Amino acid sequence: MDVEGTKWLLKAAHGFGVKHIVYVSIVGIDDNPFPYYQAKRRAERLIEESGIPYTVLRATQFQELVVAVANALTKGPIAPIPKDFRVQPVDIEAVAARLAELAAGEPAGRVRDIGGPQVVSLAYAVDAYASVVDRTRRQVQIPVPGKVGAAFRAGANLLGEHGDEVGESFSHHLVWRLET
């Protein structure tokens, strides 16, 4: 949907004389063959090749996505956790603020990536979520084979040195957002 939706967006943008497109994407899509990530990269390329001035902001996974994954993994009696996966959940409000700032500015091409200030193992994130919602489950670490598994184990989805940490930590999100 990202690729087809981007094609329609660009067609409309050309028709209306849009002077700046701002697109939110995902950190690490160049180094991870996960199909959704590759679709996001194809959408970025369409924007880059459109002739319309643009800004692309890549962000790590939203905190809400990590919570949704943790929720799904803790529904049964055992929580199957992809082994050695780490996440760097980012505060969606911090991403929205950065997008608004970029939209109000001049087109900048690809800007510095952003991510949350806390890198945690997926096992930790699931355990922390489960304890907050009183749904503690026995975890079983599941090896994820192939290039996608290798990319996540290598941390391709993490911010790295070419990005900025923004917003509240995942731990803070769990305590203040889920407990209130």
Q: Which amino acid is at 91?
A: D
pTM metric for this prediction: 0.92
pLDDT, tens digit, 9 for 90 and up, residues 91-116: 999 999 999 999 999 999 999 999 99
CATH number of 2-178: 3.40.50.720
Q: Helices in 20-62 by DSSP H: which ranges?
A: 35-48
Task: Read off the DSSP letter of residue 177.
Answer: I
Nearest CA to 47 among 137, 108, 128, 138?
Answer: 108
Give 90's contacts (C-beta < 8 A, 6+ positions apart): 59, 60, 61, 62, 63, 114, 115, 116, 166, 167
Domains of the chain, residue spans: 2-178
Q: What is the pLDDT along the chain (180 residues), one digit of tens a residue?
A: 889 999 999 999 999 999 999 999 999 999 899 999 999 999 999 999 999 999 999 999 999 999 999 999 999 999 999 999 999 999 999 999 999 999 999 999 999 999 999 999 999 999 999 988 888 889 999 999 999 999 999 999 999 888 999 999 999 898 876 665
